[in-house]
Amino acid sequence: MALLETDHDHQHQSTKPKMHVAVLPNLGMGHIIPLFELAKRLVVFDHDIHISFLLINTDEDNSAARDQYLYSTALPPSLDVVDMPPINVSDIVRDDMLILTRICVIVEESLKSLKSVLIELGKPEALVIDLFCTGAFKICSELSIPVYSFYSPSTAFLTFSLYIPTLDREVEGEFVDLPEPISIPGCSPIRLDDLLDEVRDRKNNQYKLFYLHMSRLPQATGILVNTWEDFEPVPLKAIREHSFFLQLPTPPIYPVGPLIKQDESMSSSDEECLTWMDNQPVDSVLFIALGSGGTLTTGQLLEMAWGLEMSQQKFIWVLRKPDDADASSTFFNVGSDVNDPKSYLPEGFLEKTHGVGLVVKSWATQVAILRHPSTGGFLSHCGWNSTLESITHGVPIIAWPLYAEQKMNAAMLTEEIGVAVKPVKVPGETVVKREEISRVVKLLMESEEGEIIRGRVKKLRDSARRAVDIGGSSYNSLSCLIEKWKNESGEP
């Protein structure tokens, strides 16, 4: 995709001071990646913008994947990565804290230094924040810096987030006990089974934090969404036109996506993997990866292994040590987990699948694999970045949602857009059985139905590319936003 090649018409070297915008992601690769891609896109799109990318740091930072992504390729000249003062995690985080609580506690602590960081940077003209950084609204109002929210999940999930305060007011008891799916004005209903864990128990601290941050969204001067007009027309229309969202009031929405990872540095094992792919037929390899945090239980990992073997299809599997308690267990140490596949794969699996499948430990160059012509399917946890990366490269999906809003994404991809299939778990079983895994893999990789799904995703790929090309909807939306920033900062 030509994201970084679509330079605006500012090729000249300007002598006037550049407009300065700061960008602040949460913790987590699924947040750092799209906000960093936004930062790169902005400085390449308009050479009169300077970006400070503010990175939240902790004394326990242990993410090989993060460091490799941020520091292994040269940055464009007008983009600086600025480290926020490191946070002592052990002072504020307890072992029993769930993922969202942990993120929010660390972000809140880090925001204590935001005011001084912004002043030291000379007060940028705007700040773009991630989902759980809404503490920045108050700090920036004291500094008169407008704050924009970058909403990293889908627009459909944004409508749910904007609806949460209303739901909270109107519903007594738990949302999961409602008699009907949740109807958000102007949008598709949400099945209760698909609700994210964070809103299933309103007494839990995770819910309180989710509520707090989502209820502050209307304070943003604008909301950037990683989507495009033709991909999510229904929720975009609802937000812009439905009386419910108009009266909130909802800030202006800027669909600027798909913003996906462009460059990946390659280790020698990544190179080997791509060389292996060079020798496979077009659309013949299934790629299996569960985002930055995703892990399977011990029992599910065994079924997955034998299901893949039964399917007789080629595969590349990003493999992590199973975890029976937490489906997002590598979230905070992405790419650094200690991991020897032989110790937990079923005996004989590696020998039996030799030449048919490749196992990659912990972390792979996902975009390079999805971009490769031999990739024909993606078994994905349906994180929003993985979803966009798959669609942008025309790869159909086997939906394997694990945590956060992934079940809602999976429902949208299978039932509304028709670019994914989802394996069925037999009621009462704790795992999806190997026969079912083999069935969906074969369906996607070698059946006529799989071909139809592939055809749909390739059409969507073309629409994604048009959106970010010169004159496309996301290109124009970003252009409007930059114009607005310049007008507000008093630039001609």
Q: Which residues bind ligand UDP (CB under 6 A)?
A: 28-30, 33, 261, 289, 291-293, 318, 363-364, 366-367, 383-386, 389
CA distance 467 to 475: 7
| Spatial CA neighbour of 483 closest among 48, 1, 15, 104 | 48
Closer Cβ to ligand UDP, 211 or 384, answer by number: 384
Instruction: Please state the closest distance from residue 20 (CB atom) to ligand UDP, in A.
Output: 27
CB of 69 to ligand UDP, least distance (A): 8
Cβ atoms of 264 and 367 closer than 8 Å = yes
Q: Are 427 and 266 in contact (CB under 8 A)?
A: no
For residue 322, with 0-12 CB atoms within 10 Å meaning exposed, 13-18 middle and 19 or more buried, which class applies? middle
Q: Where in the sequence numbering do the catalytic residues fall?
A: 31, 130
* 258-283 core/surface letters (b: 16 or more CB in 10 A; e: else): bbbbeebeeeeebeebbebbeebeeb
Chain residue whose CB lies nearest ligand UDP? 30
Alpha helical stretches, state H, 63-220? 64-71, 89-92, 99-111, 114-120, 136-143, 155-170, 205-215
Rounded Cα distance between 183 and 345, Å, is: 43
Residue type, 290: L
Task: Give residues with Cβ within 8 angstroms of 316, minimum separation 6.
Answer: 273, 277, 285, 286, 287, 288, 357, 358, 359, 360, 364, 369
Q: Which is nearer to ligand UDP, 53 or 245 (CB)?
A: 53
DSSP 105: H
Which of 62, 64, 30 minimizes the C-alpha distance to 361?
A: 64
User: For residue 473, which phi and psi values (nearest 5 degrees)?
Assistant: -60, -45
Q: Are 432 and 305 in contact (CB under 8 A)?
A: no
User: Minimum Å distance from CB 491 to ligand UDP?
Assistant: 33
